[in-house]
């Protein structure tokens, strides 16, 4: 890990990488300040890039900020126009994501993605640090001034600011149609469909020919509810708008855009200043006291202006917070809430979602924790919506059948390469909810609670859903996982845990041994940064290529890899000929840790088709190692590929249950690509 990020002392730390946060960071950095920007998602400007709120008026002003015009908004509008991504007050989300990243890079701002604030530290009337959580654990950000640009005023609330909730909590969901029959040049208002639970249905134009955006409001504000309502909105707009009747739904917003925003009720000399801490600034619509002004400010243009005002306020402060002040800090180090259940599944990709469904169908209480705003992992948010070999069977067959049933709602199935990723998101969500699984989105495990096994505890044998018969005194019992979510830290305690994080994060945190990378130099399989597109036949397809190498256990390196990956798509000018539908929010990570289990599957097992008495599945593919330097691979790999020329030969075997049992840890199964394999046995396509 590049620990210097956490050892540095910044002039300004901006927590939250939405438009308010990006604007505040840019304004501060342009004036020479040393700035760090923290965002929990994989992209900046979530309002545009994730929620697809694309109407942008850069000259928008509002009275509470003195009717100021935003220089940051003007820069964004001018640069987006020059890139071909801004027309008639509408933005392109892909180009916006690329531009925001470039602006932050050019301004010299330190950026850390995939990181959620969990605690604010303060000393007397000064904020002195922010604890962030991610898959690498917890770290502290040090700065002289802090800007709270989170959507829920997380830092302000931790420091005692009071808020009132709006009477309604509505969200706006967006669905994107392509291949429309005729151009839509202005918004089309379709009204409400209360029986379907959707309101304010509007069709918005795109900057691209053949594309349109359908917006609708749902209540309450929920990513799960919004996604389910998509299936009601699609037939409604097809019936009412002829241009969309045969169009293909290509993608949707990853999360809804908030319509109703709570407000801070404390008296303040400046609306953006925290009522108790003199170096904690607010950069959120929630900081505006007047109800009418707050409604007006809830646009993306006004959010940029609001962030710029926060940046100006931060620059006006001349404070020096000692770097060691966090050592004597107090404040929001609170006892986190506890959640008790039978089974906790960490990771809601295909493996984790199916694990949760299977457990829920056994009648036990299951919590499914997913770091993103959707289920399905690489097959949905990773844009790889097709299967590459493998073996059908089990619940996966049911998932596939139900996807086929609802795919016609999205358009002609022949217009989709593979399966439809939006259909899979909805099917996995539905099946999990039908199994009474409690889905917790935007939740990342940052630590674990373990109990050393100095003796065999009777209750551990009685309560554990899965166990070994030969528990030794050297084992640990996993009792809980510590998570970072939108509302801070939560501890989930259960009788059994399933690690479907992809990288064996829970198992490694609990002390299970692991290997990572090839023996000679530790290099992992290359990662990719996929993107969605329309192919030459107008089908929903994707781009996928090796983008480089990444350590997927290091949040600083994942951030670097994400930024490097999306820059492969940068152009000085975008046209309809090479536009993208979306950049996948997930990296295509092919390999991370392999947790050492009671059995380690080998390449030879796969070549000879070995069978096991405790088989629970199958592997079937060719030796799809993307290495370009086989001289650094193992002797077995060199022999199989170079000498025998068997790279394309299909091989496979049974997978034993023992590959899922991590050494030294009880109460945990590993069910993801991190199961116990050798590097050569892990053949990622």
Burial of 336 (C-beta count, 10 Å sphere; 0-12/13-18/19+): middle
Find the helix or strand (DSSP H, E) in which 609 lies.
Answer: none
Q: Judge whether 70 lies within some domain.
A: yes
323 plus 392 within the same structural domain: no
| Strand-pair partners of 143 | 10
498 plus 622 within the same structural domain: yes
Confidence of residue 463 (pLDDT cuts 50, 70, 90): very low
265 plus 254 within the same structural domain: no
* Cα distance between residue 215 and residue 53, in whole Å: 9
For position 68, what pLDDT does the model report?
64
Which of 282, 298, 331 represents a domain boundary (last residue)?
Answer: 331
Q: Judge whether 586 lies within some domain.
A: no
* Cα distance between residue 672 and residue 666, in whole Å: 17
Cβ–Cβ < 8 Å for 603, 680: yes
Question: Which region, left, alpha or beta, applies to residue 258 given φ > 0 means left and ψ of -120 to 50 means alpha?
Answer: beta
pLDDT at 543 exceeding the cut of 80: yes
374 plus 306 within the same structural domain: no
| Strand-pair partners of 490 | 483
Q: How many residues does the chain have?
A: 685
Half-sphere exposure of 627 (CA within 13 A, CB side): 25
CB neighbour list of residue 497: distance below 8 Å, 6 or more residues apart: 343, 344, 345, 346, 478, 481, 506, 667, 668, 669
| pTM as predicted | 0.95
For position 278, what pLDDT does the model report?
96
Number of domains in the chain: 3
3-state secondary structure 641-652: HHHCCCCCCCEE
> Quick count: other Cβ atoms within 10 Å of Cβ 563?
18
100 plus 121 within the same structural domain: yes
491 plus 640 within the same structural domain: yes
Mean confidence (pLDDT) of the chain: 93
pLDDT at 238 exceeding the cut of 80: yes
381 plus 291 within the same structural domain: no
Burial profile 485-520: b = 16 or more Cβ within 10 angstroms, e = fewer: beebbbbbebbbbbbbbbbbbbbbbbbbbbbbbbee
124 vs 137, 139, 219, 320, CA distance in Å? Answer: 27, 22, 40, 14
| Strand-pair partners of 483 | 445, 490
140 plus 219 within the same structural domain: no
pLDDT at 457 exceeding the cut of 50: no
* Cα distance between residue 466 and residue 457, in whole Å: 15
* Cα distance between residue 146 and residue 152, in whole Å: 16
Which of 258, 283, 312 represents a domain boundary (last residue)?
Answer: 258
* Range in 80-89, 460-469, 600-609 the model is least confident about: 460-469
Cβ–Cβ < 8 Å for 440, 485: yes
118 plus 186 within the same structural domain: no
Q: Judge whether 573 lies within some domain.
A: no
292 plus 249 within the same structural domain: no
Mean pLDDT over 605-625 rounds to 95
* Cα distance between residue 55 and residue 204, in whole Å: 9
3-state secondary structure 3-72: CHHHHCEEEEEEECCCHHHHHHHHHHHHCCCCEEEECCCCCCCHHHHCCCCCECCCCCCCHHHCCCCCHH
Mean pLDDT over 570-591 rounds to 96
> β-strand 248-252 against 171-178: which pairing, if any?
antiparallel
How remote is the C-alpha of 481 from its chain's centroid?
A: 19
* Range in 163-167, 226-230, 497-501, 599-603 the model is least confident about: 163-167
Mean pLDDT over 483-493 rounds to 95
First-residue to last-residue Cα distance in the chain: 27
The more confidently predicted of residues 682 and 46 is 46
Tokens of 147: 């800007």
29 plus 129 within the same structural domain: yes
pLDDT digits (tens, 9 = 90+) for 259-316: 999 999 999 989 999 999 999 999 999 999 888 899 889 999 999 999 999 999 999 9
CB neighbour list of residue 580: distance below 8 Å, 6 or more residues apart: 94, 531, 532, 533, 543, 569
Q: Judge whether 545 lies within some domain.
A: no
Cβ–Cβ < 8 Å for 111, 37: yes
The more confidently predicted of residues 493 and 166 is 493
* Cα distance between residue 284 and residue 309, in whole Å: 11
Tokens of 444: 């990342």
The CATH number of the domain holding residue 312 is 3.50.50.60
Tokens of 55: 């109407």
For position 325, what pLDDT does the model report?
83
* Cα distance between residue 508 and residue 593, in whole Å: 9
Which of 300, 331, 362 represents a domain boundary (last residue)?
Answer: 331
Tokens of 171: 């969200």
Q: Judge whether 587 lies within some domain.
A: no
pLDDT at 66 exceeding the cut of 70: no
Q: Judge whether 554 lies within some domain.
A: no
Cβ–Cβ < 8 Å for 43, 287: no
CB neighbour list of residue 350: distance below 8 Å, 6 or more residues apart: 376, 377, 378, 379, 396, 399, 428
Say what the alpha-carbon torsion angle 206, 207, 211, 217 is, to the nearest 10 degrees: -20
The secondary structure of residue 240, as a DSSP letter, is H
Q: 187: closest CA among 196, 174, 197?
A: 174
Residue span of the structural domain in which 217 resides = 171-258
pLDDT digits (tens, 9 = 90+) for 174-197: 999 999 989 999 999 999 999 999
3-state secondary structure 529-568: CCEEEECCCCCEEEECCEEECCCCCCHHHHHHHHHHHHHC
CB neighbour list of residue 615: distance below 8 Å, 6 or more residues apart: 654, 655, 656, 657
Q: Judge whether 473 lies within some domain.
A: yes
pLDDT digits (tens, 9 = 90+) for 317-353: 999 998 888 787 765 545 678 999 999 999 999 999 9
Find the helix or strand (DSSP H, E) in which 272 lies.
Answer: none
* Cα distance between residue 474 and residue 430, in whole Å: 41
User: What is the Cα Rg of the chain in Å?
Assistant: 25
Q: Judge whether 96 lies within some domain.
A: yes
Tokens of 311: 């940046």
pLDDT at 92 exceeding the cut of 90: yes
Mean pLDDT over 594-610 rounds to 97
363 plus 295 within the same structural domain: no
* Cα distance between residue 665 and residue 298, in whole Å: 48
Q: 58: closest CA among 304, 311, 308?
A: 304
């Amino acid at each position: 890990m590049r620990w210097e990020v956490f050892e540095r002392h910044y002039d300004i730390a901006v927590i939250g990488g939405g438009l308010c946060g990006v604007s505040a960071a840019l304004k501060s950095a342009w004036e020479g300040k040393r700035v760090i920007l923290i965002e929990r998602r994989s992209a900046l400007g979530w309002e545009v890039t994730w929620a697809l709120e694309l109407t942008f008026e850069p000259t928008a002003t509002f009275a509470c900020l003195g009717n100021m015009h935003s220089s940051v908004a003007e820069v964004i509008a001018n640069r987006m126009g020059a890139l071909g991504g801004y027309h008639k007050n509408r933005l392109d989300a892909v180009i916006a994501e690329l531009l925001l990243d470039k602006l932050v890079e050019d301004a010299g701002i330190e950026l850390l993605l995939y990181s959620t604030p969990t605690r604010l530290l303060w000393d007397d009337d000064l904020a002195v640090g922010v604890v962030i959580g991610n898959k690498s654990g917890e770290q502290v950000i040090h700065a002289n001034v802090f800007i709270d640009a989170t959507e829920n005023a997380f830092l302000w609330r931790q420091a005692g600011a009071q808020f009132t909730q709006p009477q309604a909590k509505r969200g706006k969901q967006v669905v994107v149609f392509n291949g429309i029959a005729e151009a839509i040049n202005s918004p089309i208002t379709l009204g409400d469909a209360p029986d379907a639970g959707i309101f304010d249905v509007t069709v918005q134009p795109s900057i691209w020919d053949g594309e349109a955006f359908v917006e609708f409001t749902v209540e309450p504000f929920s990513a799960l509810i919004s996604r389910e309502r998509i299936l009601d909105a699609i037939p409604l707009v097809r019936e009412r708008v002829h241009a969309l009747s045969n169009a293909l739904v290509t993608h949707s917003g990853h999360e809804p855009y908030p319509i109703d925003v709570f407000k801070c009720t404390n008296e303040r000399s400046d609306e953006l200043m925290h009522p108790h801490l003199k170096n904690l600034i607010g950069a959120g619509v929630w900081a505006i006291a007047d109800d009418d002004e707050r409604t007006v400010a809830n646009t993306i243009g006004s959010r940029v202006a609001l962030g710029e005002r926060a940046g100006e306020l931060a620059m006006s402060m001349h404070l020096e917070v000692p770097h060691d002040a966090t050592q004597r800090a107090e404040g929001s180090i609170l006892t986190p809430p506890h959640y008790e259940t039978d089974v906790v599944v960490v990771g809601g990709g295909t493996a984790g979602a199916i694990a949760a469904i299977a457990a829920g169908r056994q009648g036990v209480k299951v919590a499914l924790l997913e770091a993103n705003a959707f289920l399905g992992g690489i097959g949905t948010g990773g844009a790889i919506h097709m299967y590459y070999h493998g073996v059908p069977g089990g619940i996966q067959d049911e998932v596939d059948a139900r996807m086929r049933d609802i795919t016609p709602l999205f358009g002609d199935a022949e217009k989709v390469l593979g399966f439809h990723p939006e259909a899979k998101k909805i099917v996995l969500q539905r099946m999990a909810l039908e199994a009474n699984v409690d889905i917790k989105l935007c939740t990342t495990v940052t630590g674990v609670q373990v109990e050393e096994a100095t003796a065999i505890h009777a209750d551990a044998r009685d309560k554990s859903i899965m166990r070994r018969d030969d528990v030794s005194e050297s084992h640990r019992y996993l009792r809980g996982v510590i998570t970072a979510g939108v509302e801070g830290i939560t501890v989930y305690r259960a009788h059994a845990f399933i690690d479907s994080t992809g990288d064996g994060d829970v198992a490694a945190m609990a002390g299970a041994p692991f290997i990572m990378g090839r023996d000679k130099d530790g290099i992992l399989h290359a990662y990719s940064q996929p993107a969605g597109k329309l192919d030459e036949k107008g089908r929903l397809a994707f781009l996928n290529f090796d983008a480089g190498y990444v350590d997927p256990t290091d949040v600083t390196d994942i951030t670097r890899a994400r930024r490097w990956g999306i820059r492969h798509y940068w152009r000085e000018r975008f046209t309809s000929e090479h536009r993208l539908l979306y950049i996948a929010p997930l990296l295509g990570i092919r390999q991370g840790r392999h947790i050492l289990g009671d059995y380690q599957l080998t390449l030879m097992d796969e070549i000879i088709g070995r069978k096991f008495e405790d088989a629970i599945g199958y592997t079937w593919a060719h030796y799809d190692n993307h290495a370009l330097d086989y001289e650094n691979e193992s002797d077995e790999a060199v022999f199989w590929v170079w000498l025998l020329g068997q790279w394309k030969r299909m091989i496979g075997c049974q997978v034993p249950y023992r590959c899922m049992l991590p050494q030294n840890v009880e109460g945990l199964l590993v069910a993801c690509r991190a199961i116990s394999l050798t590097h050569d046995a892990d053949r990622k396509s």
